[in-house]
Amino acid sequence: MPEHAAELFGTVSEAYSSHRPTYPESFFSGFASRCPSRQRVWDCGCGSGQASVALAAHFDQVFASDASAEQLQLAPQHPRIHYAQSEASQSPLEPASVDAVLVAQAVHWFAGAPFNAEVQRVAKPGAVMAWIGYLPLQLELPKLQEQFQHFYATTLKPWWSPQRRWVDQSYAGLIFPGNEWPFPTDLWIERNWTLEELQGYLGSWSAVEQARRSGADPLMPFIENLKGDWPAAGAEPVLVRWPFMGRWGTISS
């Protein structure tokens, strides 16, 4: 992860830990079932451990690494999880030591030849890798969705990093170091959130933090505008859905 990105997510680490959604459990069981064994999985770019805990239910050991010390400090402790601060392309893992590699909502920050080479170095023969994430959220009420789409694509456009396009493309175009399988297309992340909960999540976005560093805070005016169309002026929960996406397959040696 670039140093600037690690600093950004370090700044919003508390919001990230508190408000970022977890991932569909059915994916993790399917992922683990495809691995040659379940001794160790590398959760690379683990942030504050959203996927690490889910992986710990299926693997003997989870090696969870991130470039941000602030994020790691907020990750939940678990007897099967070992957290470490390291760059994605320079892990302390031994050669041929992992059965699987997972990257959750982070590969766009460090994808490329150095990371792929590191994956191939640490993977056992037949090891599996998955890059997972989610596309921009969808709100069930059309008026809310229209406002959100404008905020995401227009208001925040100057503040999104160039890497954000890889997320919007479901990581298409990045070089995957192995043989891919078709990725599930029927999985969603769903929450029933009040406006306050949505605000907490949006406050963890890198683009919002970038804007704030420039001296502007686009989030608060957006939240105020949403109150007029949100049931009970924001107090009533609304269904929020993220399309779950990614790429996965066996790692080439």
- The pLDDT value recorded for residue 15 is 58
**Distance of alpha carbon 8 from alpha carbon 118, whole angstroms:** 24
Residue type for 183, please?
F
Based on DSSP, count helices (H) and strands (E) in the chain, helices before strands. Answer: 11, 9
Give pLDDT, residue 232: 98
Residue among 137, 108, 140 at smallest CA distance from 1 = 108
Angle between helix 195-202 and helix 219-227 axes, rounded to 10 deg? 160
- What CA–CA distance (Å, rounded) separates 32 from 190? 22
Number of domains comprising the chain: 1
Paired tokens of 104: 């959750």
What CATH number has the domain bearing residue 40?
3.40.50.150
Q: For 88, phi and psi rounded to 5 degrees?
A: -60, -35
Give the sign of the dihedral formed by CA 26, CA 28, CA 29, CA 31.
positive
Burial class of residue 95 in the structure, from the number of CB atoms within 10 Å of its CB (0-12 exposed, 13-18 middle, 19+ buried): exposed
Give residue 184's pLDDT: 95
Secondary element (H or E) of residue 166: helix 164-168
CB 43 within 8 A of CB 104: yes
Nearest one of 17, 20, 12, 15 to 74, comparing CA atoms: 17
Q: What is the pTM of this model?
A: 0.90
Quote the domain boundaries for residue 117: 3-251
Across the chain, which has 253 residues, the per-10-residue mean pLDDT values are: 51 60 94 97 95 97 95 94 97 98 96 98 98 97 98 97 96 97 96 96 93 95 97 98 98 91
Phi-psi domain of 31 (left: phi exceeds 0; alpha: psi -120 through 50; beta: other): alpha
Which residues 6+ apart lie within 8 Å of 77 measured at CB? none
Q: Say if CB 19 and CB 203 are below 8 A apart.
A: yes
Identify the pLDDT of residue 5: 53
- What single-letter amino acid sits at 216? A
Residue with tokens 């890497």: 163
